[in-house]
C-alpha cells in the first residue's frame, strides 16, 4: 500500500532533526511530527473518519495544526482548511457545501460551530493555539500504530475554497499528485535543502503558507521557525538564525519600514520569496538597495499551486513573475478567439501541468467552463510572455481584489451591501493601498432620503463578512458610471478613487 504524498514526506524526513521551532518553546523533530500525526490519524479512525471524508479545520496556527494536516494525509482524509477570520455565516456555507465528517475548531468556537455542524452530521473536536484540545486528548490515548491509508496520485489531499466571481465560493480539489509534484519542483528550483531554516509567518489555511511553505520544507527535510503571525520585528530578529523567508508583498513593504532592516540583519539569509499578489517594482528595488537581495517573485493560484518563478541563479526581474516551472506549460491566448498569442502580446494566461487541480467540488459545469478544450486552465489573469521567456502579469479579467495577499470577490461584498435597507446599489473595487497593495472600497448609491452612513454600513457587515473583506472606506455617490450596455464601469471608478489611500 502506498500513500502518494505522505510516503514522499516520510522518505525525506531526517529523523531526529528539527522540523518546527517555536521561539521560546518546543522544537518538534521530524520523529515527533511522525509520531503525533500517526496518533491523530488513529484518533480520527476511531471517530469513524474514512479515506475521502472531508475534515474541515478552522484553528489558530500551531505546530499541532500543521501536524493535523499530516494526519489527514495519512488517514486519506481530505483536508479543508478555513480562514480563521471567517464568520459563522461564512462557515455555515462551507460546512453545508463540503459536508465534512469532522470539523476541528478552537474550544471557544465549539458551541456555536457545533450548532452549524450538527444538522450536517459532522462531529466537532477542538484544537487551540497552545496545542491542547479534545482532538489531541483523543490522540494521546491512541497507540502509534496507524497504518497509512492507501492513496494514489489522483486521490484528493485537500479542498481549498476560493470565492466565486459569480455565485458562492468554489472548493478547489487538489490531489496528492498536484501537491507532491509542485513541492518537488519548487524545492529543486529554489535549491531548498536540509540546511535551510524558513521563517514561516504566513497563515496556514492558504496555498502559500500550507503547501508552498510547509510541503517544500518537509520535502527538503529543512526546518521552520513557526510564528503565529507576521510581525516585522520578530522576523528581523530571527534572520541571523534563518536562511529563507516566504511572504506576500505586504511583508516586504512592512519590513522596509523598519530601520532595523539592513545588510547586517540579512547576512545569514539565502533567499527572500514573494507571491500571492503583485510586488511593486519600487518594493523590489527598495529591498535590493537596502539588503543586497533581489526578492524572488513567483506566481501561483489556489487552483494551480505555483506556475512560474523568477530564477534562482539568473536575473530576477522586478515586475515579472519569471519562467514556467519545470513540467508546467504557460501560454497566453486571445480572450476573444482563444488563439495562442506570440511573445510580447497581452492576453489570457492559461496553464497546464501536473500542478493543476482536479476541478471544483461538486461543480462540474463551473470546472468545465474554466478549462479550454485542450485542457488548459483559464487563470483569469491577463499577461504576456516577453522575448526572454519571462511572464508578466498585467491585470485581471476576473473581478477580484487582492488585499495583503487575501482575495476578495467584489460580488460577495456588493451582495451584502445591496441587501441593506436604504441602499439602491453598490460597486466594490480595489484601489492602490500603500500597505495592503489594494484597499477594498465600496461606492454606494443610497435610496432617496435614506439616512445611511459609513458607520451604519460597516456595522452591518461586521458579522456577515470576514474582517479583511470589509471595505476600508465607503464612498457615497449619486449614481454609478455605466457603459452603453448598462454595465458598471469599474475601471472609471478605480481611476476616480486611485488616490484615496495615497500616502500622506
Ligand atoms: C488583516 N486585515 C486586513 C488584512 N489582514 N485587511 C485587508 N487585507 C488584509 N490582508 C485587517 C485586520 O483584521 C485589521 O482590522 C486591520 O486589517 C489591520 O490589521 P493588521 O494588524 O495590520 O494586519 P495583520 O494581522 O498584520 O495582517 C496583515 C498581513 C496578513 C498582510 C500580515 O493579512 C497576512 O498574513 N496575509 C497573507 C495572506 C496569504 O497568506 N495569502 C496567500 C493566499 S494563497 P481591524 O480594523 O480590526 O484592526 C495565494 C496563491 C499564491 O494567493 O500565489 O500564493
Ligand atoms: P488565490 O485564488 O488566492 O490563489 O489567488 C490567486 C491569484 O493571485 C492569481 O490568479 C493572481 O491574480 C494573484 N497572484 C498570485 N501571485 C501573484 C504575483 N506574483 N503577481 C501578481 N499576482 C499574483
163 lines ligand 1 (CB under 6 A): no
Taking the centre of ligand 2 as the mean of its atom positions, its distance from the CA of residue 72, in whole angstroms, is 27
440: closest CA among 420, 459, 465? 465
pLDDT at 503 over 90: no
Ligand with minimal distance to 318 CA: 2
227 — pLDDT class (breaks 50, 70, 90): very high
470 lines ligand 1 (CB under 6 A): no
The answer on pLDDT for 504 being more than 90 is no
Ligand nearest to the CA of 399: 2
Q: Is 461 in the pocket of ligand 1 (CB under 6 A)?
A: no
Residue whose C-alpha is closest to residue 77's, from 42, 32, 36: 42
CA of 402 to the centre of ligand 2 (A): 8
**Residue 69 and residue 210 in contact, taking contact as beta carbons nearer than 8 Å:** yes
pLDDT at 404: 98
What pLDDT shows up at residue 270?
A: 98
- Please tell me the predicted confidence (pLDDT) of residue 378: 97
Average pLDDT value for residue range 138-150: 96
| Ligand minimally distant from the alpha carbon of residue 213 | 1
pLDDT in tens, 102-141: 999 999 999 999 999 999 999 999 999 999 999 999 999 9
> Could you tell me where the DSSP H helices lie in 351-489?
364-369, 410-418, 454-461
Which ligand has its closest atom nearest to the C-alpha of 296?
2
Q: Which of 149, 210, 205 is nearest to 183 (CA)?
A: 210
Q: Measured from the CB, is residue 211 less than 6 Å from ligand 1?
A: no
| 40-49, 207-216, 297-306, 479-488: the lowest-pLDDT one | 479-488
Q: Which residues line ligand 2 (CB under 6 A)?
A: 162, 207, 275-278, 297, 299-302, 321, 379-381, 393, 396, 402, 407
- 85 CA from centroid of ligand 1 (Å): 10
How many other β-carbons are positioned within 10 Å of the β-carbon of residue 5?
A: 26
pLDDT value of position 379: 97
Task: Look at ligand 1, atom 2, and give the residue with the nearest C-alpha.
Answer: 468
Each residue's pLDDT tens digit, 364-391: 999 999 999 999 999 999 999 999 999 9
Ligand 1 atom with least separation from CA of 306: 53
Computed over every residue of the chain, the mean pLDDT equals: 96
| Beta bridge mates, 161 | 171
Can you tell me the mean pLDDT for 306-333? 98
Who contacts 91 (Cβ-Cβ below 8 Å, separation ≥6)?
A: 58, 82, 113, 116
Mean pLDDT of 270-288: 98
Atom of ligand 2 nearest to the CA of 396: 12
E strand intervals along 206-313? 223-226, 244-247, 271-274, 296-301, 305-309
What per-residue confidence (pLDDT) applies to 273?
A: 98
Q: What is the pLDDT of residues 168-207, one digit of tens each?
A: 789 999 999 999 999 999 999 999 999 999 999 999 999 9
Among 404, 408, 437, residue to substitute to test ligand 1 (most atoms within 8 Å of Cβ): 404
- Is a pLDDT exceeding 60 seen at residue 165? no
Q: What is the pLDDT of residue 164?
A: 60
Amino acid at each position: 500500500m502506498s500513500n502518494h504524498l505522505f510516503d514522499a514526506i516520510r522518505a525525506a524526513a531526517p529523523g531526529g532533526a528539527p522540523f518546527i521551532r517555536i521561539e521560546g518553546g518546543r522544537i518538534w523533530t521530524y520523529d515527533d511530527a511522525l509520531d503525533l500525526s500517526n496518533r491523530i490519524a488513529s484518533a480520527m479512525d476511531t471517530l469513524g473518519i474514512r479515506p475521502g471524508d472531508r475534515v474541515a479545520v478552522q484553528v489558530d496556527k500551531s505546530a499541532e495544526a500543521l501536524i493535523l494536516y499530516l494526519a489527514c494525509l495519512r488517514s486519506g482524509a481530505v483536508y479543508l482548511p478555513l480562514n480563521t477570520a471567517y464568520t459563522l455565516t461564512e462557515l455555515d456555507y462551507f460546512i453545508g457545501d463540503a459536508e465534512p465528517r469532522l470539523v476541528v475548531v478552537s474550544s471557544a468556537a465549539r458551541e456555536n460551530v457545533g450548532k452549524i455542524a450538527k444538522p450536517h452530521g459532522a462531529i466537532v473536536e477542538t484544537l487551540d493555539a497552545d496545542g491542547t484540545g479534545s482532538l489531541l486528548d483523543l490522540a494521546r490515548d491512541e497507540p502509534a500504530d496507524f497504518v497509512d491509508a492507501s492513496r494514489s496520485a489522483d486521490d484528493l489531499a485537500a479542498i481549498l475554497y476560493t470565492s466565486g466571481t459569480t455565485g458562492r465560493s468554489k472548493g478547489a480539489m487538489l490531489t496528492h499528485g498536484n501537491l507532491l509534484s509542485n513541492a518537488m519542483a519548487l524545492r529543486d528550483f529554489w535549491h531548498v535543502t536540509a540546511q535551510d531554516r524558513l521563517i514561516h509567518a504566513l497563515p496556514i489555511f492558504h496555498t502559500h503558507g500550507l503547501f508552498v511553505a510547509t510541503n517544500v520544507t518537509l520535502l527538503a527535510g529543512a526546518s521552520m521557525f513557526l510564528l503565529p503571525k507576521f510581525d516585522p520585528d520578530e522576523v528581523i530578529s530571527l534572520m541571523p538564525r534563518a536562511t529563507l523567508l516566504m511572504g506576500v508583498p505586504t511583508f516586504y513593504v512592512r519590513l522596509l519600514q523598519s530601520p532595523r532592516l539592513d545588510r547586517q540583519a540579512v547576512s545569514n539569509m539565502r533567499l527572500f520569496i514573494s507571491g500571492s499578489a503583485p510586488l511593486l517594482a519600487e518594493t523590489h528595488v527598495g529591498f535590493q538597495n537596502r539588503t543586497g537581495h533581489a526578492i524572488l517573485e513567483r506566481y501561483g493560484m489556489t487552483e494551480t499551486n505555483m506556475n512560474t518563478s523568477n530564477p534562482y541563479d539568473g536575473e530576477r526581474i522586478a515586475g515579472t513573475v519569471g519562467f514556467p516551472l519545470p513540467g508546467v506549460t504557460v501560454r497566453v491566448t486571445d480572450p476573444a478567439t482563444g488563439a495562442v498569442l506570440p511573445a510580447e502580446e497581452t492576453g489570457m494566461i492559461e496553464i497546464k501541468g501536473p500542478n493543476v487541480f482536479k476541478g471544483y467540488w461538486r461543480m462540474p459545469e463551473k470546472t468545465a467552463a474554466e478549462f479550454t478544450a485542450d485542457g488548459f486552465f483559464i487563470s483569469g489573469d491577463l499577461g504576456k510572455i516577453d522575448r526572454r521567456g519571462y511572464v508578466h502579469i498585467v491585470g485581471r479579467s476576473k473581478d477580484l481584489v487582492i488585499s495583503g495577499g487575501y482575495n476578495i470577490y467584489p460580488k460577495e461584498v456588493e451582495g451584502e451591501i445591496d441587501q441593506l435597507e436604504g441602499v439602491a446599489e453598490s460597486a466594490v473595487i480595489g484601489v492602490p493601498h500603500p500597505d495592503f497593495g489594494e484597499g477594498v472600497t465600496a461606492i454606494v448609491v443610497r435610496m432617496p432620503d435614506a439616512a445611511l452612513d459609513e458607520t451604519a454600513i460597516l456595522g452591518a457587515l461586521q458579522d456577515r463578512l470576514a474582517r479583511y473583506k470589509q471595505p476600508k472606506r465607503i464612498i457615497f455617490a449619486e449614481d454609478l458610471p455605466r457603459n452603453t450596455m448598462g454595465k458598471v464601469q469599474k475601471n472609471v471608478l478605480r481611476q476616480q478613487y486611485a488616490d484615496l489611500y495615497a500616502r500622506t
